[in-house]
Amino acid sequence: MAERPWGAAPDGVVLTVRLTPRAARDAIEGIEPLADRRSALKVRVRAAPTQGEANAALVALIAKATGVAKRDVSLVAGLGARVKRLKIAGAPAALCAALERTCAGGNQSQ
C-alpha cells in the first residue's frame, strides 16, 4: 500500500493533494504515488482553475470529508500547481482517522 500523504503537525495535519479541476464530479479517489516517490490524495473537482475556484472547491471538499469548517483548511503550498499542500487545523488523531475512513471508503463523491 502507498505511504499516507498526510502527517500530524502541531495543531492539525498536513496533507498532500493532487488536484484535477474541470472533472465531471467532485470526488476523493484515494491515494496515488507521485513521480518523486511521495504519495498524494487524488482529488477531482468540477470547478475551473481560474480565480481560485478549484482551490476553493478543494478546501470545501476536504473540510467536508474531515468534518471540519472550511476556515480550518488552508492551502500552504501549490497555489497554482496541480500538487498542493493543505494544513487542516484540529486534533491530529481525529483528522488522520477521518482521512483513513475517506480513503478506505473508495470513491467519495460529493
Least Cα distance to 11 among 107, 76, 97, 93 occurs for: 93
In the three-class reduction of DSSP (H, G, I as helix; E, B as strand; rest coil), residue 75 is classed as: strand
pLDDT tens-digit series, residues 6-26: 999 989 999 999 999 999 999
110 domain residue, yes or no = no
1 domain residue, yes or no = no
51 domain residue, yes or no = yes
The CATH number linked to 35 is 3.30.1200.10
- Greatest alpha-carbon pair distance for the chain in Å reads 36
pLDDT greater at residue 73 or residue 78: 73
Query: Does this model's pTM top 0.85?
Result: yes
Range of the domain at 31: 6-105
pLDDT of 1 > 60? The answer is no
Q: How many domains does the chain have?
A: 1
83 domain residue, yes or no = yes
35 domain residue, yes or no = yes
